[in-house]
A and B are shown apart, each in its own frame.
Chain A
Amino acid sequence: MSWVLVLPLAIPFATAILAFFYRASRAGRWISVAGTALLLAASLLLFTQVFQAGVVAGQMGSWPAPFGITLVADLLSAVMVLITAIIAVAVAIYALADIDEAAEKMGYHALFNVLIAGVLGAFLTGDLFNLYVWFEVMLIASFGLLVLKGGREAIDGGIKYVALNLVSTILFLTGIGLLYGITGTLNLADLSGSVAAADPGLLTIIAMAFMVAFGVKAALFPLFFWLPASYHTPHFAVSAVFAGLLTKVGVYALIRMFTLVFDHDIGFTHQILLWVAVLTMVVGVLGAAAQGDFRKILSFHIVSQIGYMVLGLALMTPLGLVGAVFYLIHHIVVKANLFLIAGVTSRIAGSTALKQIGGLYAFAPLLAFLFVIAAFSLAGFPPLSGFWAKFLIVKAALEIEAWIVAGAALAVGLMTIYSMTKIWAAAFWSPHPDGIEPRLSHFSVAERRAYLWPIAGLAAITVAIGLAPDAFVTFSERAAAQLLDPADYIAAVLGAGGTLE
């Protein structure tokens, strides 16, 4: 039972190690592609098991919970793992064209796979300190990937990214220490029960520490500065995987902790989350409106969209959590894809600065088509995935008559349209200022395939979610139900005994 949980961790690590030893040859990149493909298979296996049989938990080292480390997948974890694997495959293929040999020699593929492993570890672990460890694995790999490109922008972005994330990491660590100090345990399922005996006031204070720590990771207001400062600087493959996954790990952690452990004083903690989420949405989208660069706009939109997801959590109603889960799934796919598209744009049009590019609609209609799918999905246009995500959140807010919140969510949607059309008008519709004809045929066949297959694949997922949302909504409902009533989760973990009872 437990190996199905281990494979999604072990495969990327093994891939990273192999890719490292073959980093000087072309084999490295294919190892990465093969490894992520294998990972996808393993993730599907896990997903299927969780989908059919419910929460899967395993005790590492066969030590029983809560003493040993638990890996556990409920529906939320399982789907996050699956989406991560999908993004990993897409980006690994994209990297075939996007990553230069210099970066490969410096270990790009190894770093990338470790990053994926860290993300997956965070999704799969059922232990708070272990979560910290995976956060760090993810963080350090992201540091490396971020600065791999070198150059002034990447280094400057790196400085801010590193500095601000380190603060959050240390706060997280401190929070773990404090939480252990009042509960005596680290196992999340065990914590869920142990907090009942803890002093509620003290628990609230510690919850706030976690909220801020994860808030930095998730890029909530006013903690998001690192993201727009850095996400536009690295390789496109890197910013795509960052955009898709990293903040979502923060959101995931918020969801996990604030449904499983810190649900003792929703009137305070979740109310704060609610207003933070609203501010995040609004400030993020206004930030995007102020930008004139493809990737910078996208970066601020990550912030804004995180607001929606956290809003779903903050509402803490069944529908709100359904919306949060659905939003996560949708957003990872769409946002990663938009960054991938930005990369192709930059390659053929010469820049991501909107004033310096154009002509993509006329000369690269396929790219334009794929962009429209992703961008208008992000903007929440039906019948694309983003519409249903927004719909669920707005409905959840309206359901409990949170008028201002719903209004903000809708207004932010409008501003998202504004930004996406700004990109569309400047990069796609308007002619290129230098008269360049940005055609996809500038690429070799192999490059074109490596660039376009992942983009098209992710776009197809976006459309599929949009046209057949029922399966995803139903799934999100099941996942949300597990979150709101974690009895299954707790039973699976605390009953998943090792050899010693």
Chain B
Amino acid sequence: MEALLAITIGALVAAAVYLMLSGHMLRFIFGLVLISNAANLTIFTAGRMTEGAPPLIAPGANAPPEGVANALPQALVLTAIVIGFGLFAFAVTLVWRAWGTLGTIEADEMRAAEPFPEEPAPK
């Protein structure tokens, strides 16, 4: 499954990058969500995959049975998901505010901070 997932992740990344390059900030956000998922899956995959054996210790036991899934990547992914959500939440808010303030959703039309040379800098 690692190999299949590696290919799938590649496809997710490709889709995400294509979206992020579109110039439409909403599509950028979609790409961001996709590529975050891809990154999380990458960590998960790189930590190797074990079917259906969550790293839980049964009551009465001192340790999980042999061959449970690798717990550390799971913890890392969980952390990454939550951080990713925080970043996403800010980014999506920013896009919204950009639409409100700059009046465009097209990234390449956002030129307030870096105006075209012929335009006078805004005061």
Chain A interface (Cβ < 8 Å from any Cβ of B): 129, 133, 136, 139-140, 143-144, 147, 150-160, 162-163, 166-167, 169-170, 173-174, 176-178, 180-181, 228-230, 232-233, 293, 351, 353
Distance between Cα atoms of A146 and B26 in the complex (Å) = 21
Chain B interface (Cβ < 8 Å from any Cβ of A): 20, 25, 28, 32, 35-36, 38-39, 42-48, 72-73, 76, 79-80, 83, 86-87, 90-91, 94-95, 97-98, 101-102, 107, 110-114, 121-123
B contacts with A: majority SS? helix
Contacts of A230 in B (CB 8 A): 113
Chain A nearest CB, measured from B1 CB (Å):
15
Contact A170 B101 (CB under 8 A): no
Chain A nearest CB, measured from B93 CB (Å):
9
Chain B nearest CB, measured from A303 CB (Å):
14
Residue in B91, B101, B123 whose CB lies within 8 Å of A166: B91
Contact A177 B110 (CB under 8 A): no
Contact B42 A177 (CB under 8 A): yes
Distance between Cα atoms of A150 and B100 in the complex (Å) = 11
Residue in A152, A159, A181 whose CB lies within 8 Å of B94: A159
Chain A nearest CB, measured from B25 CB (Å):
7
Distance between Cα atoms of A178 and B46 in the complex (Å) = 6
A contacts with B: majority SS? helix
Distance between Cα atoms of A381 and B103 in the complex (Å) = 46
Contact A152 B122 (CB under 8 A): yes
Given known pairs A129-B76, A159-B98, A177-B46, the reply for A166 and B32 (CB within 8 Å) is yes
Given known pairs A155-B101, A169-B87, A170-B35, the reply for A160 and B73 (CB within 8 Å) is no
Chain B nearest CB, measured from A150 CB (Å):
8
Contacts of B79 in A (CB 8 A): 129, 133
Contacts of B123 in A (CB 8 A): 351
With CB as the reference atom, state the residue of chain B lying closest to A177.
B43
Contacts of B72 in A (CB 8 A): 180
Contacts of A159 in B (CB 8 A): 25, 94-95, 98, 107, 110
